[in-house]
Copies of this chain bind each other. A is one copy, B any other.
């Protein structure tokens, strides 16, 4: 009998924003897999979840490199997948952690896809998590959406025309991971007269959390864990 894979959303990084269910699963499984962007890199997933993991549980890092090299990426996914399947085949339940929510811009969903394709007999359970933008809105005191609002979430800025169209169409737009093209986004918001309607939030729920309401005063150093929320209606 194989074990079950639990893909756990552990929320934005504040250990208290884990669900009761995720905390319970973490205390029961004997194998926990933690995604990191590189060997030995700081793991927000681990620092968020560590208090809930029993001391006799084995914790392993899986490297999901931040790269656009598709060949390298899919090789790494296959290797990571194999390590998980091996443990499950040994009969252990295992948890794969994912910051935020597993269904919302998370690399865990690709592991789930591989597992369903290659080992359809192995049970898998996905536990949703608090997204970074729900946490950021709560901290900044912003209601993301009300009554009939249209809410859009964007995580890439390759197609500026598309971004302009979505800004036109939506009531609220969440720009995630604003580190690479922050100036482009801010420029666009300025052009559209939306700069006063935007809030910048960095590292929500982490000790270095920062909220900037005047986008002319942004920190110089772009941060990976950052977002801009634009709310057109009051």
Chain A interface residues toward B at CB < 8 A: 9, 11, 14-21, 23-24, 101-106, 109-110, 112-113, 116, 124, 126-131, 134-135, 137-139, 141-156, 158, 162, 165-166, 169-170
- How far in angstroms is the closest Cβ of chain B from A165? 6
Q: Whole-angstrom distance from the CB of A229 to the nearest CB of chain B?
A: 10
The 14 listed contacts between A and B (C-beta, < 8 Å) are: A11-B19, A16-B24, A17-B20, A20-B20, A103-B138, A103-B143, A126-B139, A128-B135, A130-B130, A145-B155, A147-B156, A151-B152, A152-B152, A152-B170
Number of copies: 2
Task: Report the minimum CB–CB distance from A67 to chain B (whole Å).
Answer: 12
Among candidates B19, B153, B165, B169, residue contacting A151 with C-beta atoms closer than 8 Å: B153
Shortest C-beta distance, A160 to chain B (Å), equals 13
Q: Which of B14, B112, B145, B154 touches A153 (beta carbons < 8 Å)?
A: B145
Q: Is the CB of A9 within 8 A of B165?
A: no
Q: Which residue of B lies closest to A170 (CB)?
A: B152
Q: Which residues of B contact A21 (CB under 8 A)?
A: 14, 16-17
